[in-house]
Chains A and B, each alone.
Chain A
Amino acid sequence: MTVLREAEKAPGSLVIRRPARPRLARFFNKTLPESLGPRLILILMCALFLLPFWSMATAALKTTQELSTFPPTFFPQSFAWGNFSRAVNYIPFGTFFMNSVYLTFWIALGAAISNPLIAYGFSRINWPGRDVVFGIVMATIFIPFPVLIVALFDIFARLHWIDTFLPMIIPAFFGNPFFIFLMRQFFLGLPNEISEAARIDGANELQTFMYIILPLARPAVAVVVIFAAVAAWGEFLAPLLYLQDESKYPLSIGLQFYRQEHDVSYNLLMAASTLIVIPVVALFLAFQRFFIEGVTVGSVKG
């Protein structure tokens, strides 16, 4: 069999072509057995990666009594849908949720405005020292954020920004190295003639950026906005440091209130987690293509 197939590939070989087998037979004799192994492995991997979701969703729907039994049930015996309304009322979920939405909105907006602008300056204008400075931009990726938190806290305290959303929101308006890189890759791929044409028509650089390049870059801006929003939604350390008043907490910090002195309402906690995860999953399902493009943009560079 294998010998025959290899012979077929060799150029100029004199092998009489076999009559085409019916497609169904081909599927059962060749396609299915060959893809069965990889398929099983992939399904197993997915099961492992989806197990946390399953654990969360089922725990969210179990009664407190069912949740504490051993062995755990893989499927809730009765659906305690009431957990969701109890979870929302147990802590000021609505307030925390709106704070998270507010933070996410402003951080995503800041990313959408700043990163294309900065990346344009690092790609479509050829100024002396540009690539050296861009090297510094990239180097900042490797500075761990916690290294800065003590000094940043003191700086923000002097600005009276503590217990406001400003320490999270304002830095987003000054660019992020990952997003600058991503936008720059996109801009470098646009032909120079576009800018030339605009310049001949008398447009200055800012006009060229605003009216010619930026509209073309909408898919890349969408990638930046999506990733900035997902990151803002999950932000933990910064709000933990800078916010004190409970009414300003986002969900990431607010979830701790499901924990009492010696007791945690795990089913309520998982119901709340489900409500937090659902927007991210929805965003992913709606914009899958953008996510995949955003992750792989670095590998295009080679």
Chain B
Amino acid sequence: MNAAPRFHLTKADRRNLRTAAPFILPWVIGFFAFTLYPIVYSLYLSFNRYSGIGDAQPVGLSNYRHLTSDPLFWKSLWNTLYYTGLAVPIGLVVAIVLALAMNQRVREVAIYRAAIYLPSILPLFALTFIFIVLLNPRFGFVNYLLTLAHGPEINWLGDQRWTKMSVVLLAQLGAGGPALIFLASLRAVPSDLYESAALDGAGALRRFRHITLPLITPVILYDLIYGTILGVQIFTPAYIPVGGTSGGAAYTAGPDNSLLFYVFYLYKNAFQYSDMGYASAMAWVLFVISVVLALAIMRWSKYWVYYEAA
């Protein structure tokens, strides 16, 4: 509307705008009500002291200043980046390996594909409960299999060195989804490329490195960015094993707060300590971190993403 002087709209343009308006209106309303307004509103709240009841009192930058000296904030940020830094690259490799396996010419491959994909659509809360049993040092299968293989005995969710690794492992159960996307892009690679490379004497590894890998880099980029955005919001697999609300406000999130992920701490501040202003400051920092990470990956990708000249 305000752009009218700069853009000349023809009669057809205006008619199309009028026609399209009722279709896109639900999204526009939803975008303003449930995305844009909350973002702006939490920026406002982050400069206030607010318990959720009564009026907000402006406190300037004090919430942000408090962040820099809050050891639990730094701990939660570290835990989250540690988790994301492990889960995303591991998840990428797992998804590609699964996709390569699913691309093999085996007659009953559809059955394997279904079995590998299925865990990725199961509710995360149910998978978390299942994992608590699976990783139990006393009666879980994982440690039993480890002892059979003369591996170490690991107290997965009880030892602060392993808690985040447990969540990384849990996240791999969702690799079936990205693996299917990689599979689709593997299928799109023209087979004559492989044939001519094979004729030139390139082995399987070199064919993967020089043909497959460049052609799936756009999917790798998507997976890295989306995986990172999902990674920084990790919450459920930490909240559930810790015991949720039953322990009150004083409990730690896993041994030595090793499962105190960023969103978990944000949640505690907002809904257990009723410090909505402080939680809003945390929300905004998370927003900025997500944008910066996404943009950084995007820029970095210019050096390795291969776009077909089409």
Contacts and interface: CB of A to CB of B under 8 A. Distances in A.
Given A143-B290, A299-B188, A155 B17 contact: no
Given A128-B9, A151-B39, 12 more contacts: A70-B139, A125-B16, A142-B294, A150-B42, A150-B276, A150-B283, A174-B31, A205-B19, A230-B121, A266-B136, A273-B130, A302-B188
Interface stretch (A15-23, A78-86, A274-282): A274-282
A292 B140 contact: no
Contact of A114 (B26, B102, B116, B177): B26
A69 interface: yes
B22 interface: yes
Contacts of A114: 26-27, 30
Given A154-B41, A174-B29, A234-B122, A148 B173 contact: no
A144 B286 contact: yes
Nearest to B195: A9
Contacts of B127: 52
A122 B27 CA distance: 11
B229 interface: yes
A192 interface: no
A206 B21 CA distance: 11
A60 B39 CA distance: 43
Contacts of A118: 23-24, 26-27
The 3 A-B pairs at the shortest CB distance, nearest first, are namely A174-B30, A121-B23, A234-B123
B30 A41 contact: no
5 contacts: A72-B144, A234-B122, A270-B133, A295-B181, A296-B180
B233 A299 contact: no
A147 B104 contact: no
How extensive is the interface on chain B, given as a class? 35 or more
Contact of A144 (B177, B185, B232): B232
Interface string A1-12: 000001000000
Given A128-B13, A155-B37, A234-B122, A147 B219 contact: no
Contacts, number: 279
A39 interface: yes
Given A35-B104, A276-B123, A299 B185 contact: yes
A146 B235 contact: yes
B96 interface: no
Nearest to B53: A157
Interface in B128-145: 129-134, 136, 138-141, 144
A205 B286 CA distance: 42
A275 to B, nearest CB: 10
A149 B140 contact: no
A74 B22 contact: no
B60 interface: no
B226 to A, nearest CB: 7
A280 B123 contact: yes
A106 to B, nearest CB: 15
How extensive is the interface on chain A, given as a class? 35 or more
A140 B33 CA distance: 13
B27 A236 contact: no
B92 interface: no
Nearest to B13: A128
A125 B136 CA distance: 56
Interface string A120-160: 11100111101001001100111111111111111101000
Contacts of A205: 19, 23
A225 interface: no
A216 interface: no
A154 B52 contact: yes
Interface string B240-257: 100111100000000000
B259 interface: no
A298 B181 contact: yes
A294 B93 CA distance: 22
B145 to A, nearest CB: 9
A291 B121 contact: yes
Instruction: From A35, A56, A144, A147, name the one whose CB has the most chain B CB atoms within 10 angstroms.
Output: A147
B283 A146 contact: yes
A228 interface: no
A127 B19 contact: yes
Interface in B81-116: 98, 101-102, 104-107, 109, 112, 114-116
